[in-house]
Structure 1
Amino acid sequence: MHRRKRNILFILLIACCNGLFAQSSLKGWHLRDLKKDGFYGVSIDEAYQFMQGRKSTPLIVAVIDSGVDTAHEDLKNILWHNTREIPGNGIDDDHNGYIDDVYGWNFLGNKNGRNLKKTSDEKTRVYHRFKSKFAGKAIVEDSLTPGDRYAYDIWKKAAKEMNVSTDEQVELMFVEVTMKALKKHDKVLREEMGVEEYTLQELEKFQPATQAGKQAKLGYLTCCKLMTLEGDEKNTAILSDLDEYVSGKKESMEARDVAPPDYREQVVKDNYYDISDQFYGNNDVMGPNPLHGTHVSGIIAAERNNNTGIDGVADNVKIMMIRAIPDGDEYDKDVALAIKYAVDNGAKVINMSFGKALSPEKQWVDEAIRYAENKDVLIVHAAGNESEDVDQKDNFPNPDLQTFHNHANNFITVGASSDPQIGDGGIIADFSNYGHNNVDIFAPGVKIYSTLPGKSSYGFLRGTSMAAPVVTGIAAMIREYFPELSATQVKYAIQQSAFGCDSTIKIVKPGTKDKVSLTELCQTGGFVNAYRALEIASKLAPEDRKKTPAPVPAAPKPVMLRNNKLN
């Protein structure tokens, strides 16, 4: 799944490049202004200066993610509270089917408080789901029912992806060698430093007393530089993530022959193939690994002007956390129900920093997106981190609503941009997916500083997962200050805010050495800008439809939601 916290695979294969600026100078670069500060940021100060004197309306933003640290100093005051629920009384006070959903809901748990942390990828689930039906069989495709034909098509795709390439085997071997070396060095360093946990910054300042310690320090830092890890990365987190990556990769490679455990069945215990079985889970929105969701939430709306930590993009937002994204690929059912929960509980913008290459229950997600569209809710989705052209390669969820044979107008797909002064100097993140037709706009997604789990923890992460919440924050600002505008108009203002880069700066297509124009990589051919978006929004009126894309005629409202008919 492309929301992975570090995207270890491509990080390990990228050479280390020290940017022109120190770590501290890059904190918040994504909020800065090109003309004033020299960074390709979103001009947030200029945006707030433009809105000075205008009142805002409180807005709910839903974050569908891994979980959030509800006690974080920079988030605790901006978290949504369901005022219709009495916390901890074990009663569904608001009669919405979810007991004690104070901060949101967790679709990855059970009523006994257990939580699903890890799951397999979608290709593995699809492959084994239909293996007995199609593997080794002489399939006459023209004789299949529409449902079986769809199942067969996605099974063939999954089966193809289950093949392990030589490159993947070499990559895994490289990671294992790196991990073994790090663990060896870490043992020496912990003994010599007299601590169990340390950051890269602390290690760089440490002066070992022994030759073994000096060698361990050099070896450890060299490995970390090859992985482009940040100065505030802790040894425990680095080694834990590498362990998790290696075990997951090995399990994935072995999965063609042996189906992995059904972790969902062991923990959640819902009837997954029955969408009407929707009142499962629990109210633990933090979950076992809230790093990703905490970082995303901080980008959107970390409390502004409190002289603490960081400033989020939006200033009058309450974050509703919906936990639906495990370590591994998300489930379509959880995503569909998470969207519906967000809409039904008042969210006007939904951030979705996740994605995958297969969507067997796409009709459920399509119906949820259409449900949000009918309720005038904007969805912002990360384009993905595989350096792929999503015009050519599937990336789900997406606004192509196959169930309704049309395109959702309330859906924005965001790629990740960078800055010439960061990393390898590229203006577009080398890992970002792109697509002239299917990516709407780019937003900062490299070296983004935001909240991390822990009362006062902060750090850098990168990914389109970080770019999407930048756009979500801007969308929230527009809806705060111009609540009369529709989701379609908000999308229009964001798209029209796009600005290109200096013509002298070369744009390298992610994953290649080809140099292309920015217009080849996304619809708008540019980067989002908060000031320009708000300026455009200020000139729109509710009845002004000429400046906005014509809405798709409403189809009959679907029953939310229908059961999947795949066998």
Structure 2
Amino acid sequence: MRPSVRKSNIVIVACLFWAGQTQAQNALKGWHLKDLQQDGYYGISIGNAYTFLKDKKSTPVIVAVIDSGIDTTQEDLRSILWRNPKEIPGNGIDDDGNGYIDDVYGWNFLGNIDGNNLKKAADEKTRLYHRYKNKFSGTSINEDSLPKTDKAQYNLWAKAAKEMTVNSEEQAELMFVEMALKALKKHDKTLQQELGKTEFTCEQLEKWQPSNSHGKQAKLGYLSSMKLLGFEGDDTNAFIISQLSEYADGKKESMEARDVPPPDYREKVIKDDYYNINDRFYGNADVMGPNPLHGTHVSGIIGADRTNNLGIEGVADNVKIMMVRAIPDGDEYDKDVALAIKYAVDNGARVINMSFGKAFSPEKKWVDEAIQYAEAKDVLIVHAAGNEATDVDETENFPNAQLLECNRRADNFINVGASSDPHIGDGKLIADFSNYGKANVDVFAPGVKIYSTFPGKSDYGFLKGTSMAAPVVAGVAALIRSYYPDLSARQVKYAIEKSAYSCDTTVTVYKPGTKEKVTISTLCETGGMINARTALEVAATLQPEIRDKKKVTLPKATFKNSKPVK
């Protein structure tokens, strides 16, 4: 059983090795930064990277994180947050004239002017299914007779309709999660009373010795459920129950959606003209939003303060994190993603991290044009490959590098799968949940048991997913752009991918989700895992590209004749 939350690429429930020892947990904090030869972990060798950079000067690099939100009060993030130099905080005026009022830390495309925020959204297949249901359902369709636009709509709808069918495996999966959740809540109530506190971790529970049979039964039941569900030893009871509840509610809503359309949360909150890409000045300045866990964790991986002796150290040492909130609980909207990319580019981002994905993209044209816009402005995009243990050469996953209208691949786009380490979980070198693809996944990076910032002034924790692998790569990209600022996005991508060739491509690994042994070279284009030291060595050998700005081609359709309303 391997369900995952597609919008964020965090794996919520997966059968994993049970880590119950505090000493082991502490040893794994920051493993992704370590070096194989020196430390015995398949990390990115960040220590050696900084040794290589000794006495070299850096320039600050803005990294945009398009995500769920960020806690701006987190102790390890406060000093590395991007601040709009042209905007006066809290005065209710669009000081820089960019159409976004008080966008001090970035922008929130999932809100409204009254300060309300969109938290959840239906998945894209459900939105598509009901969008065209009245047009195509129950009618005899001759595809050959349909106009080009209608044919494209019909094919999307038919694919969505096919996937709306609930199979017995999904029903059993939901039943299992609901039963587990019910039992956990019962045990949790007893344990809170017996322990005398409302929050605890599995590690703490394992050390606790109950004084009565009720406590013993609750402890045994709770820990047994945790082992079965695959939650980590340092996850709190509150976190586990909230994640399971969110997953079960979303799954139930999705299964019921074929007959009952889900609420249009977007219409209730944002109220934009969704199908008009040039209606883009909506949202608010609340970059935290109602659930900033994912974005806060991602941001810490990239650039948590390396000098304050607190919490963790990010990959890059001279970055400013710009948060662009565009990812709800559920599938993101293509319009928000496209506008988030443009906002990031227009406000100076040189690297954009996108740790999200989905199976349908009805307005892919908008996202493609935004990626092309970033490409023309020399901005690198790093994307998480997804957590379905799927070959994305055969199964579509969006966003992606294929620019349909141009019939080519964007050269500023890196798609990242998740690697692991023999010391972690099931001991596999490639994460069992990670998507892969010889043509469409560029490189692997650590994405299992990654310790980073959590919402709260001084909170930290472990998460896993390709969502965690992508910011590792984004951090290395920022490091290169910081110390070698004259290199183009294409050259940074080249240096990162070239660094992976140091991996022995003859090493056999398990293909994610299977027991089949394959070489790493069959799972991604580069056949390896990122190495920061090697990437910097490659970057140091490159001469800056001469880019003729007069020949740079910008997309023509998107963002046309669009100005802020005064």
- Report the TM-score range of the alignment, normalised by the length of the smaller protein: over 0.9
Deviations 1:469-503 (A, max 9, x none): 00000000000000000000000000100046567
1:7 is matched with: 11
SS of 1:351's partner is strand
2:402 is matched with: 400
- Whether the aligned pair in 2 keeps the contact of 1:381 and 1:411 (CA below 8 Å) is yes
SS of 2:218's partner is helix
* Partner Cα separation in structure 1 for residue 502 and residue 290 of structure 2: 40
- Whether the aligned pair in 1 keeps the contact of 2:376 and 2:553 (CA below 8 Å) is no
SS of 1:209's partner is coil
Deviations 1:117-149 (A, max 9, x none): 011000000000000011111111122222111
Deviations 1:349-394 (A, max 9, x none): 0000000000000000000000000000000000000000000000
1:510 to 490, 509, 512: 512
2:199 is matched with: 197
2:119 is matched with: 117
- Determine if the alignment matches structure 1 residue 363 to structure 2 residue 365: yes
For residues 126-137 of structure 1, what are the structure 2 equivalents within 5 Å? 126-137=128-139
* Partner Cα separation in structure 2 for residue 441 and residue 145 of structure 1: 40
- Determine if the alignment matches structure 1 residue 325 to structure 2 residue 327: yes
Displacement after TM superposition at 1:511 (Å): 1.2
Residues 15 and 352 of structure 1: CA distance in aligned 2, closer, same or farther (over 3 Å):
closer
1:486 to 482, 485, 488: 488
1:497 is matched with: 499
- List alignment gaps of at least 5 residues for structure 2: 562-566
SS of 2:79's partner is coil
* Partner Cα separation in structure 2 for residue 286 and residue 312 of structure 1: 20
Deviations 1:439-492 (A, max 9, x none): 000000000000001110011100000000000000000000000000000000
* Partner Cα separation in structure 1 for residue 119 and residue 280 of structure 2: 19
Displacement after TM superposition at 1:59 (Å): 0.6
* Partner Cα separation in structure 1 for residue 552 and residue 493 of structure 2: 18
- Whether the aligned pair in 2 keeps the contact of 1:449 and 1:459 (CA below 8 Å) is yes
* Partner Cα separation in structure 1 for residue 506 and residue 429 of structure 2: 11
- Determine if the alignment matches structure 1 residue 188 to structure 2 residue 186: no
- Whether the aligned pair in 1 keeps the contact of 2:303 and 2:319 (CA below 8 Å) is yes
AA of the residue aligned to 1:185? H
* Partner Cα separation in structure 1 for residue 378 and residue 78 of structure 2: 27
Displacement after TM superposition at 1:5 (Å): 6.8
Residues 503 and 114 of structure 1: CA distance in aligned 2, closer, same or farther (over 3 Å):
closer
Greater mean deviation of Cα atoms: 397-406 or 38-47: 397-406
1:266 to 260, 265, 268: 268
SS of 2:482's partner is helix
* Partner Cα separation in structure 2 for residue 414 and residue 557 of structure 1: 26
Residues 263 and 543 of structure 1: CA distance in aligned 2, closer, same or farther (over 3 Å):
closer
AA of the residue aligned to 1:342? A
1:558 to 553, 556, 560: 556
Deviations 1:57-103 (A, max 9, x none): 11100000000010000000000000100000000000000000000
* Partner Cα separation in structure 2 for residue 327 and residue 345 of structure 1: 26
* Partner Cα separation in structure 2 for residue 263 and residue 506 of structure 1: 46
- Whether the aligned pair in 2 keeps the contact of 1:367 and 1:403 (CA below 8 Å) is no
- Whether the aligned pair in 1 keeps the contact of 2:505 and 2:521 (CA below 8 Å) is no
AA of the residue aligned to 1:7? V
Indicate the percent of aligned positions where both proteins have the same amino acid. 67
- Whether the aligned pair in 2 keeps the contact of 1:106 and 1:284 (CA below 8 Å) is yes
Displacement after TM superposition at 1:4 (Å): 3.9
1:280 is matched with: 282
* Partner Cα separation in structure 1 for residue 490 and residue 25 of structure 2: 38
Displacement after TM superposition at 1:504 (Å): 8.3
* Partner Cα separation in structure 1 for residue 289 and residue 234 of structure 2: 23
2:387 is matched with: 385
* Partner Cα separation in structure 2 for residue 251 and residue 468 of structure 1: 29
SS of 1:52's partner is coil
AA of the residue aligned to 1:358? F
Displacement after TM superposition at 1:559 (Å): 3.6
* Partner Cα separation in structure 2 for residue 489 and residue 529 of structure 1: 16
2:257 is matched with: 255
Deviations 1:508-555 (A, max 9, x none): 00011111111100000000000000000001011489xxxxx9x855
For residues 209-358 of structure 1, what are the structure 2 equivalents within 5 Å? 209-358=211-360
Residues 371 and 544 of structure 1: CA distance in aligned 2, closer, same or farther (over 3 Å):
closer
2:32 is matched with: 30
Runs of 4+ in 1 over 6 A off after TM superposition: none
AA of the residue aligned to 1:334? D
Displacement after TM superposition at 1:420 (Å): 1.0
1:158 to 152, 157, 160: 160
Deviations 1:22-52 (A, max 9, x none): 0100000000001111111000000000010
- Whether the aligned pair in 1 keeps the contact of 2:505 and 2:519 (CA below 8 Å) is no
1:548 is matched with: none
- Determine if the alignment matches structure 1 residue 443 to structure 2 residue 445: yes
* Partner Cα separation in structure 1 for residue 455 and residue 117 of structure 2: 17
* Partner Cα separation in structure 1 for residue 20 and residue 241 of structure 2: 25
SS of 1:439's partner is coil
TM-score under structure 1 length normalisation? 0.95
* Partner Cα separation in structure 1 for residue 10 and residue 370 of structure 2: 29
Q: How many residues align?
A: 555
Displacement after TM superposition at 1:204 (Å): 2.2
SS of 1:330's partner is coil
AA of the residue aligned to 1:169? Q
Residues 271 and 282 of structure 1: CA distance in aligned 2, closer, same or farther (over 3 Å):
same
AA of the residue aligned to 1:316? N
- List alignment gaps of at least 5 residues for structure 1: 546-550
For residues 448-459 of structure 1, what are the structure 2 equivalents within 5 Å? 448-459=450-461
SS of 1:74's partner is coil
CA-based RMSD of the aligned residues comes to 1.9
Residues 500 and 18 of structure 1: CA distance in aligned 2, closer, same or farther (over 3 Å):
farther
Residues 500 and 370 of structure 1: CA distance in aligned 2, closer, same or farther (over 3 Å):
same
- Whether the aligned pair in 2 keeps the contact of 1:5 and 1:292 (CA below 8 Å) is no
1:65 is matched with: 67
* Partner Cα separation in structure 2 for residue 15 and residue 426 of structure 1: 11
